[in-house]
Amino acid sequence: MARITQLLDAGQTLSFEFSAPRDEVGADRLRQTLARLSRHRPQFMSVTYGAGGTTRGPTRDWVRTIRDHFQVEAMPHLTCVAHTRDEVAAIIKDYRSDGVDNILALRGDLPQGVESPGQAFDTAAELADFIRERTDWDIGVAAHPEGHPMAASVEADLSHQTRKLARADFAITQFGYRAEYYEQFVNQLDARGVQTPVIPGIMPPTNVAGIERMSALNATEFPEEIRERLEHAATAAERREIGVEVAVNLGRELLELGAPGVHIYTMNFSRAASEVASALGWPAD
């Protein structure tokens, strides 16, 4: 359908991220979410990939559903975790036959204490190279403006990210709540001669416990002022309103800074994502 680099060339993009649900109830909800969010005419949607290949089939199925049923460009995520070279080659072959044009190449995380002796690739960069040798797809990678939690040092992490992004067609960031971290990261890349488009990820903070857990895992700051506002909210509706307001203000700041687009982490729910998209200039038709 469309390459993400071409979509980015045409102007700032809106994209949404989903996860393949585990059961029929989740699948019904995701279909409703897709129906609602596709009305915002996002430039693309992406579908995550479960570590260990547990959602291998569903990721492919949902990518096809998004493209065929909702006529939106859909990008699968793919991780290194627990995969041999042959398995990755087979997945690439499947996606080629589906007409996929874009992919997000990731390392993924093995659960703590679990080892995967047969795993062929240790880093996203190695996976991206393997895909590049076999396809002419646009290849995206993950970016971590606040640093990766398992990095040996800030400098080693930045060097790695710089090398990885230099070879990628675009990157999507981990979610964060301070535009200045994004700005600083992009400036650091630029100073190192890397101008790969970096699309910031935005997660409307509507659930304190969830954001707290994920921020801790990703080593991203969950600003105290946002947490306090959410904790003082009396109802779920009030929390959603605060979450949307925070996400909209952040999105506006990022777009004004010249970000190539915004990527909204939906958690498979439509309401907050839809309100954020409308307020950022992508109303539903």
Where in the sequence numbering do the catalytic residues fall? 17
DSSP 145: T
Pick one of 9, 68, 86, 109: the residue that binds ligand FAD (CB under 6 A). 109
Stretch that binds ligand FAD, among 64-72, 107-115, 182-190, 206-214 (CB under 6 A): 107-115
Nearer to ligand FAD, 72 or 199 (CB): 199
The answer to whether 124 and 88 have CB atoms below 8 angstroms apart is no
Distance separating the N- and C-terminal Cα atoms of the chain: 21
The answer to whether 242 and 233 have CB atoms below 8 angstroms apart is yes
Interaction between residue 167 and ligand FAD (CB under 6 A): no
Give me the torsion for CA of 267, 270, 272, 275, rounded to 10°. Answer: 140
Interaction between residue 110 and ligand FAD (CB under 6 A): no
Closest C-alpha to 144, from 167, 119, 164: 164
SS3 string, 66-122, reads HHHHHCCEEEEEEECCCCCHHHHHHHHHHHHHHCCCEEEEECCCCCCCCCCCCCCCC
Interaction between residue 148 and ligand FAD (CB under 6 A): yes
Q: How many residues bind ligand FAD (CB under 6 A)?
A: 24
- Could you give the string, one character per residue 39-68, with x where binding to ligand FAD holds by CB under 6 A and - elsewhere? ---------xx-x-----------------
Where are the extended beta strands (E) located within 111-213?
Answer: 138-143, 170-175, 198-202
Interaction between residue 174 and ligand FAD (CB under 6 A): yes
Phi, psi for 78 (deg, rounded to 5):
-140, 135
CA distance linking residue 93 with residue 212, whole number of Å? 38
Interaction between residue 106 and ligand FAD (CB under 6 A): yes
Nearer to ligand FAD, 13 or 79 (CB): 79
CA distance linking residue 19 with residue 117, whole number of Å? 26
- Least CB distance from residue 201 to ligand FAD, whole Å? 5
Interaction between residue 156 and ligand FAD (CB under 6 A): yes
DSSP 196: -
Pick one of 56, 67, 77, 229: the residue that binds ligand FAD (CB under 6 A). 77
Pick one of 160, 192, 227, 252: the residue that binds ligand FAD (CB under 6 A). 160
Interaction between residue 119 and ligand FAD (CB under 6 A): no
Nearer to ligand FAD, 58 or 243 (CB): 58
Pick one of 5, 123, 135, 278: the residue that binds ligand FAD (CB under 6 A). 123
Quick one: tokens of 86? Answer: 């042959």
- Least CB distance from residue 241 to ligand FAD, whole Å? 26
**Where along the sequence are the contacts to ligand FAD (CB under 6 A)?**
48-49, 51, 77, 79, 106-109, 123-124, 142, 144, 148, 150-151, 156-157, 160-161, 164, 172, 174, 201
